[in-house]
Structure 1
Amino acid sequence: MKVKKASALLLLSLALATPLALLARADGGIALPTAPTADQATTSKLVYGLLSDSRYAYRPRALDDALSQDIFKRYLETLDSNKQYFTAADVAKFAPFKTQMDDAIRSGDLAPAYDIFAVYRQRVQERVAFARALLKQDFDFTGEQRWEYDREDAPWAANTAELDGLWKKSVMNDWLRLKLAGKQPDDIRKTLDKRYANLQKSIGELKSEDIFQTFLNSYTSAIDPHTDYFTPRTAENFNQSMSLSLEGIGAVLQRQDDLVVIREIVPGGPADLSGKLKVGDRIVAVGQGKSGPLTDVIGWRIDDVVAQIRGKKDTQVRLEYIPAETGIDGKHVQVTITRQKVKLEEQAAKSETINLPALNGEPARRIGVIKLPAFYQDFEGRRRNPNDFTSATRDVGRLLTQFKTDDVDGVVIDLRGNGGGSLDEAIELTGLFIDKGPVVQVRESGGRVTVNSDRKPGVAWDGPLAVLINRGSASASEIFAGAIQDYGRGLVIGETSFGKGTVQNMVDLDRWPANETARFGQVKLTIAQFFRVAGGSTQHKGVVPDIAFPVSVDASEFGESTYDNALPWTRIAAVPHTQYGNFAPLLPKLEALHASRVAKDKEFQWWSDDVAQFRAEAAKKYVSLNEADRRAERDKEDAKRKLRQSERKTLGLALDPLADDLSDDGLGASERDVVKDAAREKLVDKRPDPLLRESAAILSDAIGVLNQDRKMSAQVLPESTGPGRWAD
């Protein structure tokens, strides 16, 4: 069956490899799935047909012994990415499977994957038992030992004794972190024993679908870095994240020991409107409807609890919970909530205004900022009602209208950490700033190139524009930033972007058997490569900013260039497009003004120093296990934060709301007080952001220079009409 490209859901999301999720079960028992289901065997065959067919995959690969060995390697790396469970002897015993993975996938007989996982489960149990036994002794932190935490490129441990040595140092580091945070030995033992016990219990909660998805993604990632398999449940979660909406009660949940705790209440959602639930409440039972039986969910996986709470709009769910202010043995309370469609506003576009004071003869200016975390779109909502659906472009358009009403002088689009999303949104968002024209070129596997254009006349913002990017800006972010740069429509500021230049399509595996219910899941499949209108690709190279900030993450550590099977960089012919401006003549002046300003900007200097320190520490890939050395480092960091806070007060700068709460507490996310941790998380966005402010200042510089220097303005902005008239 041929994929209909015209109706395909095109996605450009940043999909980074993640390790197998480990979750806990209350009784600590082991319920290991031993074989795939019939549906999984069918799914394996369907995925094989999809990835080996050039009608679907952009770069299909034959499923032969060579690819089988690659799949084998990736599966081991996913299970044990830091080489802390398997020994070299284990891996040697797995050797016969190297050339059997292809046969397993084609036939749907996935026994090799389950056999390897059985050994993995056993090794985790052994390691946890060893770690817990170590807690009975005391540790000497006066020597020169160090814990080398990055073992990705290390060889497999030769034997169990070598693993014992590695784990002892890991446990020592866990202990030392808690000791430096002020914990006493008995509390440290209790915390770590529970932590390691939870790791052991977690294996018991893994389901067949978890193992199956992990193994199939070892296959998909061998094809290319951004092809992924989703089970029906994970596909549903992915699509909800893209639409920024779901049907439920509007509460963010977190697992803590054997309980599911409310971490956040979505404003305006059913849980919020009930007036009863709050952050920190612990859910112990869930019932359907007003009178359905309550099911005890203590010890359940969090995704299973979520599945019980979510449901169709206008249906009811009953929750039994222990209020946050009472102890674990407190009185249980019940609430009945009517489910509704909940908008996940936290990930939606947001705006703010930066006021820049008059300086050096330049007037005060107001720069509008739009922070866009993702290129989201409610695809199903758009199909139902094309005039009313959740969309990044629609949200940004409304914010730009408000900026025009507020009479801001320029706009910065902040795409830092925006890993991508919908291709349509990238095109339509670009259309808010250009008056029709090509935005991106898409080349399919057969070589056909399609030019995707903004076809709507007019713009939402025709004034000064800048785009702020970093290494985490990928895919759709790179399409948008690259188009703005190619059109000369605005300045691109920040770090070189991720370098992902491929297009993915969500393929529903249930479409072929035409299942009424989801059984086989979906594949996010690479179907094309995109190119800028100027002809170059962002693949590997990313978008290079016009004005560069210090590099916070090395390209060898993060980005498309770190994938061993990523597509190479290439280029195709450019397509005609309007050149609104040419900022090259202006850049030396802007660089000089930028350098002069940041030399006196304490916040920017501190950020630069922190980046340099972080990169130096990360390059070591180890930490000392000497208490005196670690305590001296900790005291130095605490003193530095206090001094900076004092200088902020002296200089009249905004205080850092987290300055007194940044010391390492030695705890994991599930071990902290949920109420305090959630409140702390809310303060992150209120911390000083010197990069954003400097981006606004650079944009203001450009406005000022072009207003004052008519000759320069004529070089930079030769067009007499159209978007982007920066000078009066």
Structure 2
Amino acid sequence: MRQRLSLFSLVVALCLMPTAVLATPHTVPLSELFPDPGQTKAAIVINKVLERYHYRKVTLDNAFAKDVLTRYLDDLDPNRAFFQARDVERFENGARHFDENLRRGELDVPFDIFRVYRMRVDERVAYALKLLDQQFDFSRSETYAFDSSETPWAKDSAELDDRWRRRVKNDYLTLKLADKSDSEIRDRLRKRYEGLARRIHQFNGGDVFQAFMNAYTGTIEPHTSYMSPSTSENFDISMKLSLEGIGAVLRADNEYTVVQSTVPGGPARDSGQVHAGDQIVGVAQGLDGSMEDVVGWRLEDVVEKIRGPKGSVVRLQIMPKSSGSTAHTREVPLVRNEIKLEDQAAKSYVVDKLSNGAGLKIGVIEIPAFYRDFEAESAGRSNFRSTTRDVRALIKTLTSEGVNGIVIDLRGNGGGSLAEATSLTGLFIDLGPVVQVKDAFGKVEVEADRDPGVAYAGPLAVLVDRESASASEIFAAAIQDYGRGLIIGEPTFGKGTVQTLIDLNRYVPGDHDDLGRLRLTMAEFFRISGGSTQLRGVEPDIRFPTAEYMTKHGERSLDNALPWTRIDPANFKKVGAVPFDRLGQLSADRIANNFGFKMLAERSKLMRDVEEQKSLSLRESDRRAEDDARERRFKDDQDRFLRSQGITPVDEDADQIDEDALDAQRDAISRIEVDEAARILADEIQLGRGSNAPRAVMRN
């Protein structure tokens, strides 16, 4: 299934705010679903801004307009569940001059498409409700294609009827496998389908315009999006309030709300039970509130359900990514809380029991985000918190403890302040460039470390994974290009573009309605060696085996992502070289017999298999066998690893859980990769390069 970034993931980007700012929804008559003059004006301005300022040069010609139309239809109906082939043919015939229409801001075609879409939703929901009055035979051998994004549009209503019969049957079977009663299943599904129609009826003209304009911007690349005036207002409120909520970035994927990432120090990440790729299928308030099914809901409505005041409880029904589209779910209670800067702060520890270490001690510095207290800095407080300041202090502590090398752990670090990525690099190199930034007009600026001296000059490694993005990639790339340290782990996310918010009202003089804002991609990051971090990310010097199964992840999985490219390298001088081949072979030999890495590799393979699956059996016995096999496959390798570490496995789904034992279990799993990174660094030291490195030098 193609991955897309939702506009509203911007609004909830770091948290889910406690203040309810969404208007109470109401049914919108079809007669109101027509474009207004303000939207026409906004469309003209958006096109001009995109053509002039977007990093990827945009020409609104006939070919591009056709792509926009295709994208809009796919966004409305990604699973080909509502429109018929004849509908699409009519839309395409009516859009023969779509490029000219859009250039003039004429929006009749997208609004007409949405009105038809709403009618088709009503038809399908009525049919689904009718199916709920029937019985289902789960002994038949047939399948349900839950990902039909590449399937041709249905040729007639009979073909759509069959797709919906299988869909409703699958929805019923999924709940049946979760041990729900017949009456409970039918009631829940009835509410789900009626809710789908109700939410589509709540779309107003502004919602339709925003949906279309995001199909327009998404045709260019995935990080450019339009914010309507109401969405802009929500965004402003979220930026002004403290980080209070569950600490999660959510996006819409077909009819599901998916966790895109979790925030360091937030309740979601701290729970250890909410992960990127998990689907939120239900939301309940308090410790005993009833669970409300949210499959098929608009993302904004799910967010509003999850919002709440600090200290209150929200319960999420999660379908883990590892379970695929089966019945396995877990209920996760979270206490909404303020996410403070210190919760995201870097921290350190020492690894001193290395099988290959011969008494060596390796310091580990975990950096969950690139943070900087801009408010305290602007207020003139000299002791404001920042990643660089905290890491400098940690380096001083580790060197005083006599560590022989340091591992910087950037796993799961989604980025943050560019200034911090630059200054952090400066702790490990002397004066020099760190990253190049090229804007839409071809101008290249170099961000450089201008502070002489280093804070640490000893053996260094950087541990990254598929979730390390943006600022993390800038830091890792600079360390790699300088030859300052080893990069270990998985290829990183590949987010190498820069966005800015543009107020569209500034381009239209005089009094007029609010036109909203555009989040625009206007620059790209390039390594000092010349290659971009975009799309490919940073390739580690030593790959862990989990990387083998990364087929669709990060920027690589997004529609219309900007390609990798390169510019001239900056003027810099390498400071070292590392014997990657020898170190890689030593690591591979250890990993081959490591139960922990066998477990992680099996998990990655399982995730890949889940992502590539497009259909499910509708025979109950097959589904139960498939579900049980997947769960056994996931659990057996984990239990084997834990027992090898002298840890008794904890069942996370049990009614009574020993939290201390569960924390020990999670900590052991999180240490698998970092412990091997420490062993690799110990190998480097013992091979000689590290022992000849200059002594650590501290600077004030």
TM-score normalised by L of structure 2? 0.76
One-letter amino acid matched to 1:357: K
C-alpha contact (below 8 Å) 2:598/2:637 kept by paired residues: no
Matches within 5 A, 1:526-675: 526-551=521-546, 557-562=552-557, 565-583=560-578, 585=579, 587-640=580-633, 643-644=636-637, 647=640, 650-654=643-647, 657=650, 659-660=652-653
CA distance in 1: counterparts of 2:133 and 2:249, whole angstroms: 30
C-alpha contact (below 8 Å) 1:494/1:545 kept by paired residues: yes
1:363 Cα deviation (Å)?
A: 1.9
1:67 Cα deviation (Å)?
A: 1.9
C-alpha contact (below 8 Å) 1:508/1:522 kept by paired residues: yes
Q: Could you say which residue in structure 2 is the equivalent of 1:17?
A: 5
Q: 1:383 to 1:352 in 2, by over 3 A?
A: closer
C-alpha contact (below 8 Å) 1:494/1:548 kept by paired residues: yes
The percentage of counterpart residues that share the same residue type is: 39
C-alpha contact (below 8 Å) 1:19/1:81 kept by paired residues: no
Matches within 5 A, 1:27-176: 29-30=27-28, 33-53=32-52, 56-176=53-173
**Alignment pair present for 1:508 and 2:503:** yes
1:659 Cα deviation (Å)?
A: 4.3
C-alpha contact (below 8 Å) 1:362/1:704 kept by paired residues: no
1:239 Cα deviation (Å)?
A: 6.9
C-alpha contact (below 8 Å) 1:495/1:548 kept by paired residues: yes
CA distance in 1: counterparts of 2:451 and 2:289, whole angstroms: 50
C-alpha contact (below 8 Å) 2:217/2:225 kept by paired residues: yes
The 3-state SS of whatever aligns with 1:525 is: strand
CA distance in 2: counterparts of 1:201 and 1:228, whole angstroms: 26
The 3-state SS of whatever aligns with 1:687 is: helix
C-alpha contact (below 8 Å) 1:501/1:539 kept by paired residues: yes
Question: Which digits, 9 at most, give the CA deviation of each residue in 1:446-505, with x for residues without a partner?
Answer: 333222212233445444433233334333332222111101222212222233433322
Q: 1:700 pairs with 679, 690, 698, which one? A: 679
Question: Which digits, 9 at most, give the CA deviation of each residue in 1:666-692, with x for residues without a partner?
Answer: xxxxxxxxxx9xx99x97997356465
Question: Which digits, 9 at most, give the CA deviation of each residue in 1:268-325, with x for residues without a partner?
Answer: 9xxxxxxxxx955989xxxxxxxxxxxxxxxx95667999x89xxxxxx9x9x9999x
One-letter amino acid matched to 2:489: G
The 3-state SS of whatever aligns with 1:52 is: helix
C-alpha contact (below 8 Å) 1:437/1:454 kept by paired residues: yes
- Alpha carbon RMSD of aligned pairs, Å? 4.5
The 3-state SS of whatever aligns with 2:363 is: strand
Q: 1:690 to 1:598 in 2, by over 3 A?
A: farther
Q: 1:187 to 1:46 in 2, by over 3 A?
A: same
Q: 1:449 to 1:650 in 2, by over 3 A?
A: closer
One-letter amino acid matched to 1:536: G
- Count of residues paired in the alignment: 624
Q: 1:634 to 1:440 in 2, by over 3 A?
A: same
1:346 Cα deviation (Å)?
A: 9.4
Q: 1:428 pairs with 423, 426, 441, which one? A: 423
Moved more, 598-607 or 347-356: 347-356
TM-score normalised by L of structure 1? 0.73
C-alpha contact (below 8 Å) 1:439/1:454 kept by paired residues: yes
One-letter amino acid matched to 1:370: E
CA distance in 1: counterparts of 2:592 and 2:248, whole angstroms: 44
C-alpha contact (below 8 Å) 1:25/1:205 kept by paired residues: no
1:102 Cα deviation (Å)?
A: 3.6
C-alpha contact (below 8 Å) 1:536/1:571 kept by paired residues: yes
The 3-state SS of whatever aligns with 2:574 is: coil
The 3-state SS of whatever aligns with 2:219 is: helix
One-letter amino acid matched to 1:709: L
CA distance in 2: counterparts of 1:520 and 1:439, whole angstroms: 38
Question: Which digits, 9 at most, give the CA deviation of each residue in 1:376-414, with x for residues without a partner?
Answer: 567677666585777555565565566556665544444
Unaligned runs of 5+ in 2: 10-19, 251-261, 268-284, 291-299, 316-336
CA distance in 1: counterparts of 2:111 and 2:61, whole angstroms: 20
Q: Could you say which residue in structure 2 is the equivalent of 1:208?
A: 205
**Alignment pair present for 1:351 and 2:347:** yes
Q: 1:360 to 1:465 in 2, by over 3 A?
A: closer
Matches within 5 A, 1:77-476: 77-235=74-232, 246-247=241-242, 279-280=286-287, 301=301, 343=339, 348-351=344-347, 353=349, 355-360=351-356, 362-363=358-359, 365-372=361-368, 374-375=369-370, 393=388, 410-476=405-471
CA distance in 1: counterparts of 2:305 and 2:647, whole angstroms: 41
Q: 1:635 to 1:554 in 2, by over 3 A?
A: closer
C-alpha contact (below 8 Å) 2:56/2:440 kept by paired residues: yes
Q: Could you say which residue in structure 2 is the equivalent of 1:293?
A: none
Q: 1:653 to 1:604 in 2, by over 3 A?
A: farther
CA distance in 2: counterparts of 1:455 and 1:582, whole angstroms: 23
CA distance in 2: counterparts of 1:511 and 1:371, whole angstroms: 39
Q: 1:26 to 1:164 in 2, by over 3 A?
A: farther
C-alpha contact (below 8 Å) 1:414/1:468 kept by paired residues: yes
Q: 1:184 to 1:537 in 2, by over 3 A?
A: same
Moved more, 91-100 or 454-463: 454-463
Unaligned runs of 5+ in 1: 1-14, 256-262, 269-277, 284-299, 311-316, 325-340, 662-675
Q: 1:592 to 1:49 in 2, by over 3 A?
A: same
C-alpha contact (below 8 Å) 1:470/1:494 kept by paired residues: yes
Moved more, 505-514 or 144-153: 505-514
1:438 Cα deviation (Å)?
A: 0.3
CA distance in 2: counterparts of 1:173 and 1:415, whole angstroms: 40
